[in-house]
Amino acid sequence: MSDELTPQTPAPVAPVFETKKGMWSRGSGDTSGYGNIERRVAMPGQTAGPFGQPWDAVHARATELLPFLDGGLVLFDRGELTIFVPRERIQEAVRAFRDDAHLRFEICVSVSGVHYPQQTGAELHVVYHLLSITHNRRVRLEVTCPEGDAHVPSIVATYPMADWHERETWDMFGIEFDGHPGLTRILMPDDWVGHPQRKDYPLGGVDIQYKGATVPAPDQRRTYN
């Protein structure tokens, strides 16, 4: 998301990447019983306020402290607020969310990765789940980066507990957190090749034999693309 966005910039449109039918991929039988269900694969668009309190106040204070957020992508769904932050400003953003008396999100509960292979130029997302004990509320910050430049600044200096979460996100998704004190694998062996939670990673598995039938291994019957 560009820093040049202003409140007058048209809200981002939710692109629909494809429409899926049933639970299984194209080219195989649907054994789920949900073959007539259709689902659009799309990214969410801008959520227009007001969101209700305290979220209007949180968003207003955040944009007051961090003017580059004004006009950026904001999602509000099921009572949860997500604010998208330019990745190069994430360290500045988390410091403000932690230190400002009106925000006071003292804890980063989780840092997690997401892979959207259809979202060209922003295939990888990092989601920060923040908790305010002072005000008893939660908020999410989210940044994106392209697969070809999978770098995001580390927030360990602000939230030391993000150390292992950033390592796991690197391990599973291949997102490098610049400035992390020791970015090594945490779940997979050090010599493991690839990042297992990316949607282009092979599912693997073996064929399963049943009387009169064979169920192919997952990587032969399901696709994420």
pLDDT-based confidence at residue 31 (cuts at 50, 70, 90): low
Cα 185 to Cα 170: distance, rounded to the nearest angstrom: 7
Indicate the pTM of the whole model. 0.80
Spatial neighbors of 149 by CB under 8 A, at least 6 apart, are: none
Tens-place pLDDT, residues 48-94: 889 999 999 999 999 999 999 998 999 998 889 999 999 999 999 99
CA distances from 7 to 11, 67, 109, 223 (A): 9, 11, 30, 39
Tens-place pLDDT, residues 132-189: 999 999 999 999 999 999 999 999 999 999 999 999 999 999 999 999 999 999 999 9
Contacts 24+ apart (CB under 8 A), 125-132: 126/87, 126/90, 126/152, 126/169, 126/175, 127/82, 128/90, 128/94, 128/155, 128/162, 130/94, 130/97, 130/105, 131/105, 131/106, 131/107, 132/103, 132/104, 132/105, 132/106, 132/107
pLDDT confidence of residue 12: 45
- Which has more confidence, 62 or 27? 62
pLDDT confidence of residue 65: 98
Assign 40 to helix, strand or coil. Answer: strand
First to last CA, the chain: 25
The per-residue pLDDT of the chain, averaged, comes to: 85
pLDDT-based confidence at residue 30 (cuts at 50, 70, 90): low
Q: For residue 103, is pLDDT > 60?
A: yes
pLDDT confidence of residue 204: 72
Question: Domains along the chain?
Answer: 47-221 (3.30.460.80)
User: Residue 93: which of 62, 118, 120 has the closest Cα?
Assistant: 62
pLDDT confidence of residue 213: 77
Residue 7 structure tokens: 């409140």
Cα 108 to Cα 128: distance, rounded to the nearest angstrom: 7
pLDDT confidence of residue 6: 33
Tens-place pLDDT, residues 194-216: 999 999 888 777 777 777 777 77
pLDDT confidence of residue 4: 40
pLDDT confidence of residue 35: 59
